[in-house]
Amino acid sequence: MQLPVISARGIIKRYGHDEVLRGVDYDIHQGQVKAIIGPSGSGKSTLLRLLALLEHADGGSIHLDGDLVGARAHQNGSSRPAPERILSRQRRPVGMVFQKFNLFPHLTALENVMLAQVVVTKRHKKEAEERAMETLARVGLQNHGSHYPSELSGGQQQRVAIARAVVQQPRALLFDEPTSALDPELVSEVLRVMESLAAEGMTMVIVTHEIAFARKVADEIAFFDAGLILEQSAPLSLFENPQHERTRQFLTHVS
């Protein structure tokens, strides 16, 4: 069996006295598409932020392609964050797409997609621009490179954000409710792009309320509740035969 791209074990996260992740194990293998569903406040976004090394876990470990990331070696079960200089290198292989796009408003679509390549990957400007153009074309925005975010629809902005993540050739892409901030008529253009990435073999974790979409593209769906993965299985078995009453209740509310 191949090593997972990302492997999280026993992840614990607290905010004050609230334990919002209570010992989560989560693996994602190369080429897998995994969806995460669950009620508001159950810890889905927190898990993604931890996997992307945007925050530090209070317990547990994360391995990326077999290497411990985000923390120094554990002592007595506690872990200290790795220094920022190491974190910024360890973050690079994992891309993240947020609900609110997070594009730079003062940069064009093309510049948004070029920026990390020039600053982080140190690619030459010419090469970065060519790759950015190609990647914008992949998300159907070949004619919008010179537009500023304010001149793009929400669906177009989100596709720019996806292009910005994809152009870095990530080992895995994490999506946190990528269509929740969009007008309903713009949702499908974003889901189409994500579906084509999945078909091309991108390794993806998608937190979503788009149950039909999760059912269609995901190899596995995890149901989160109160800081734990209550169950995880192939879509058909999760929907047709949930193992927990809590999952069943949630599914009747959302479908």
Report which residue type is found at 243: Q
Q: Does 42 bind ligand ATP (CB under 6 A)?
A: yes
Kindly tell me which of 44 and 144 has the beta carbon lying closer to ligand ATP.
Answer: 44
204-207/59-64 β-pairing: unpaired
Helix (H) or strand (E) holding 36: strand 33-37
Find which of Mg ion, ligand ATP, none residue 235 binds, CB within 5 to 8 Å per kind.
none
Q: Of 43-51, 70-78, 85-93, 108-116, which part binds ligand ATP (CB under 6 A)?
A: 43-51
Q: Shortest distance, CB of residue 13 to ligand ATP, whole angstroms? A: 8
* Angle formed by the axes of helices 125-138 and 109-119, nearest 10°: 130
Q: Shortest distance, CB of residue 96 to Mg ion, whole angstroms? A: 12
Token look-up 């891309």 returns 95
Q: Does 208 bind Mg ion (CB under 5 A)?
A: no
Q: Does 45 bind Mg ion (CB under 5 A)?
A: yes
Q: Does 155 bind ligand ATP (CB under 6 A)?
A: no
Q: Does 44 bind ligand ATP (CB under 6 A)?
A: yes
Sheet holding 18-28, edge to edge: 18-28, 6-15, 59-64, 67-69
Q: Are 64 and 237 in contact (CB under 8 A)?
A: no
* Residues in Cβ contact with 128 at an 8 Å cutoff, skipping those fewer than 6 apart: 114, 117, 118, 121
Q: Shortest distance, CB of residue 71 to Mg ion, whole angstroms? A: 23
Tokens representing 103?
Answer: 């594009």
Q: Of 40-48, 134-142, 212-220, 247-255, which part binds ligand ATP (CB under 6 A)?
A: 40-48
Distance CA 123, CA 127 (A): 7
**Which one among 8, 24, 43, 247 touches ligand ATP, defined by CB under 6 A?**
43
Q: Which residues bind ligand ATP (CB under 6 A)?
A: 15, 20, 38, 40-46
The residue ranges that bind Mg ion (CB under 5 A) are 45
